[in-house]
Amino acid sequence: MSKSYIKRGQSRSRLAVTLALILLTVSLAGCAGEKQTPDNKLPKPETRNQDSGGHTGAFLGSIRDEKLNPIELPEGSFMLYCQWSPDGQWLAYSSNGDLFLYNAKKGQHRNLTNTPDRWELMPFWSPDGTMLCFTSRPLYGSEGQPSPTGEWVMAGAWGGSPTVINLDGTGYKVLEEELVTNPGWSADGQKVVYGHGGSIHLFDLKDRTVIKITAGEVGRQVRYIGSPSWSPTNPEIAFFFSDDDREPTRQEVMDNTASPTRQGYALLDLSTSKIKILYTFEGLFIHRLPALWNADGSKLILNIRPEGYAHWPEGLMVVNRQSGDVQKIGEAYQAIWEPGGSRVAYMSSDNYQIINIVSFAGDNYTSKKLENTNGFIKGIAW
């Protein structure tokens, strides 16, 4: 891949937004930023039976055949980052600093990482289901010491270094010693993509190199790009961009003195170097969630959540990849696409017992509600 394959291109957006991207290929082979744990030194994964654990946890709403099947996970589990493997056999989740795999048929939980000195979070399956990418970092301060309720309390940074591991627990590798969130995969499973410090990194697992995409200036200033997500069908990446990269303080937000900035989501076509603006809005700068692609790459979800005390803008947007049409279908705490399908499941910000299922036929859609009568749901997985 050429070092200069991203060229300056004029966006066709109605706002005439322009964005310059510069790619720098940096070899990581043998650099200090890479950590590889020998497979034969990995701790043996532990297995415990949920029925004999004697503890109660929080409910994850697992959806199958439009039925809500609550799964009880241990307290301390991060419910927003639970994901079924492509074959539906394993549910990956983070709990008390480690990554776990849950086998629904056997009702068993297996500690996949079992690293007493690191915190793992945000697991994401490779397309073939043989690996997971996630974030990891050393424990900080009092982390690792259970609270009176028995769960760990996060005291350090949210996220960590992009890391990968095999399904059997071998091959634990830290790709770069950088603080990132929400790593993901290329469609062919050969690269891991993540945002870092206002740029986007594409890490090639085979040749151990990284392509760095940075925001440039053509016409007006774009200071930040991040939260990338790779199309499942085309050589393109959706990403978040912002004209400002300074997050307002809590006091500025409460005093209403924080200034909104232009931001939005765009597409980068890796084969043509062209940029297409998907959606823009005015808001306070914060880290935004990655856009989520449906299975055939024809639609994307933009889950724009409120910025702390500032409740604007807000909405669950569905974008037509080809036409650029945008529809607001609700306001969501969490949203996910049906694997291999065309339906969206989302949990509203104001009701944690209801999951909404939105079915699409083109740009038209219908909606139905699923309710968990046993209690609140803290996350969903399809």
* Bridge partners (DSSP) listed for residue 198: none
DSSP string for 311-352: --S-EEEEEETTT--EEEEE-EEEEEEPTTSSEEEEEETT-T
Q: What is the rounded distance in angstroms from the CA atom of residue 226 to the CA atom of residue 152?
A: 29
Nearest Cα residue to 94 out of 165, 34, 24: 165
What pLDDT score does 149 carry?
Answer: 74
Q: What letter does residue 250 receive in the DSSP assignment?
A: H
Q: What is the DSSP letter of 307?
A: B
Cβ-in-10-Å burial (0-12, 13-18, 19+) of 82 comes to buried
d(CA 318, CA 376): 26
* φ/ψ of residue 12, rounded to 5: -95, 10
Q: Alpha-carbon distance 359 to 180, whole Å?
A: 33
What is residue 216's predicted lDDT score, i.e. its pLDDT? 67
Phi and psi (nearest 5°) for 251? Answer: -65, -40
Q: What would the two tokens of residue 277 be?
A: 């603006």
Which residues sit opposite 237 in a β-bridge?
A: 230, 268
Which backbone phi and psi does 237 adopt, to 5 degrees?
Answer: -125, 130
Tokens linked to 8: 């300056």
pLDDT computed for residue 310 by the predictor? 62
Please give the pLDDT value at position 29.
34
- In order along its 382 residues, the chain shows pLDDT tens digits of 322 222 223 333 332 333 333 333 333 333 333 333 333 222 333 333 332 222 334 677 777 777 788 788 887 888 888 999 999 899 999 999 999 999 988 889 999 999 999 999 999 999 999 999 999 999 998 898 877 877 788 888 899 999 999 999 999 999 999 999 999 999 999 999 999 988 999 999 999 999 998 886 323 678 999 999 999 999 999 999 999 988 888 888 888 888 888 999 999 999 988 889 999 998 888 889 999 999 999 999 999 987 666 656 789 999 999 999 999 999 998 999 988 888 999 988 777 788 899 999 888 999 999 887 776 778 888 8
Q: How far is CA 332 from CA 208, 296, 316, in A?
A: 37, 23, 6
SS3 state of residue 224: strand
Q: Which two tokens stand for residue 5?
A: 């394959």
Q: Which residue has the tokens 């957006």?
A: 13
- pLDDT per residue as tens digits for the range 338-375: 888 889 999 887 777 888 999 998 889 999 998 877 76
3-class SS of residue 188 = coil
> d(Cα 282, Cα 59) in Å, to the nearest integer?
35
> Which pLDDT score, from 0 to 100, does residue 110 have?
95
